[in-house]
């Protein structure tokens, strides 16, 4: 696997994950998983981060233990989202620590998480949709949001920035953003209903986001769409790190819904203050 924009981490036991060079460092963890290095079997093999897709929960828990040990985090202090392609974002408090991992989750329809609590890992899950991670070093705030095409067109990236500003006083100029591996424009074919939803965002140049095909459908660039939405929200372009890895093209490395027809596990974006 070759990438010019992300950092690749591989240990001697076969664990493989990526970090965002503009965010990941001594005081913040910002990582995205691959399929490599876990203990799950079958269609979930081997690093599956979802408890809800039919995998053995004991295997998933062990996957979290393996990954979090490498990241220097405590899996029992992680918080999982409950994603339904909304623009809903939850502020994670001390009462939420462990929900979705070692405690029952008491929230639904949450596609983004924000916190300023040290050592709490925010986890969102993926199998082609776009992972967004956010870090405000000045205010010590982190966030992650799940942006499929529905979340993207609902501007969940912008909503996350606005919530960081409203609840923690973040300034857009201080926020660093990572756009992680997901399905690329090379593989993501969509039709007119999707195109027409993006037309509602008048500031987008659709000619740079969509490539029309001879069959009347389009190839959609969700990486660029999310970049433009973030720039419209006030994020400086130099503070945005964009992936160059398509999960569908690289389904031997990443879980991909489109490549497998839905027979797959889930990847995860993890961000935490240290």
DSSP 8-state class, residue 187: T
Fold of the domain spanning 7-182+237-273: 3.60.140
The average pLDDT across 195-199 equals 98
Q: Say how far apart CA 261 and CA 274 lie, in whole Å.
A: 38
Report how far residue 233's alpha carbon sits from residue 244's, in angstroms, rounded to the nearest whole number: 22
CA–CA separation, 76 and 120 (whole Å): 9
Structure tokens at 39: 């203990």
> Quick one: how far is CA 21 from the chain centroid?
15
pLDDT at 120 over 90: yes
pLDDT category at 1 given cuts 50, 70, 90 is: confident
Q: How many CB atoms lie within 10 A of CB 173?
A: 11
Between CA 48 and CA 239 the distance in angstroms is: 30
Q: How many CB atoms lie within 10 A of CB 58?
A: 10
216-251: pLDDT as tens digits: 999 999 999 999 999 999 999 999 999 999 999 999
Q: How far is CA 210 from CA 79, 141, 213, in A?
A: 35, 33, 9
CA–CA gap between residue 150 and residue 68 (Å, rounded)? 30
Flag whether pLDDT at 198 surpasses 90.
Answer: yes
Model confidence at 153, pLDDT cuts 50, 70, 90, reads: very high
pLDDT at 239: 98
pLDDT in tens, 61-98: 999 999 999 999 999 999 999 999 999 999 999 999 99
pLDDT at residue 26 greater than cutoff 90: no
- Percent pLDDT > 90 in the chain is 99
């Amino acid at each position: 696997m070759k990438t010019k924009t992300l950092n690749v981490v591989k240990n001697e036991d076969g664990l493989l994950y990526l970090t965002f060079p503009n965010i990941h460092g001594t005081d913040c963890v910002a990582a995205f998983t691959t399929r490599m290095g876990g203990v799950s079997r079958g269609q979930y093999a081997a690093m599956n981060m979802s408890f809800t897709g039919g995998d053995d929960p004991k295997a998933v828990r062990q996957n979290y233990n393996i990954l979090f040990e490498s990241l220097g985090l405590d899996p029992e202090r992680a918080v999982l989202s409950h994603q339904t392609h909304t623009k809903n974002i939850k502020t994670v408090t001390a009462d939420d620590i462990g929900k979705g991992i070692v405690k029952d989750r008491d929230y639904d329809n949450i596609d983004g998480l924000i916190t300023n609590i040290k050592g709490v890992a925010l986890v969102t899950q993926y199998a082609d949709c776009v992972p967004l991670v956010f870090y405000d070093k000045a205010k010590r705030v982190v966030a992650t949001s799940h942006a499929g095409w529905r979340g993207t067109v609902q501007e969940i990236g912008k909503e996350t920035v606005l919530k960081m500003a409203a609840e923690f006083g973040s300034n857009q100029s201080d926020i660093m953003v990572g756009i992680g591996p997901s399905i690329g424009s090379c593989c993501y074919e969509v039709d007119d209903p999707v195109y027409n939803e993006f037309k509602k965002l008048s500031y987008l140049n659709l000619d740079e986001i969509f490539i029309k095909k001879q069959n009347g459908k389009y190839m959609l660039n969700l990486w660029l769409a999310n970049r433009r939405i973030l720039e419209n929200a006030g994020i400086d372009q130099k503070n945005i790190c964009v992936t160059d890895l398509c999960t569908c093209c690289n389904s031997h490395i990443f879980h991909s819904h489109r490549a497998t027809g839905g027979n797959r596990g889930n990847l995860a974006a993890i961000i935490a203050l240290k």
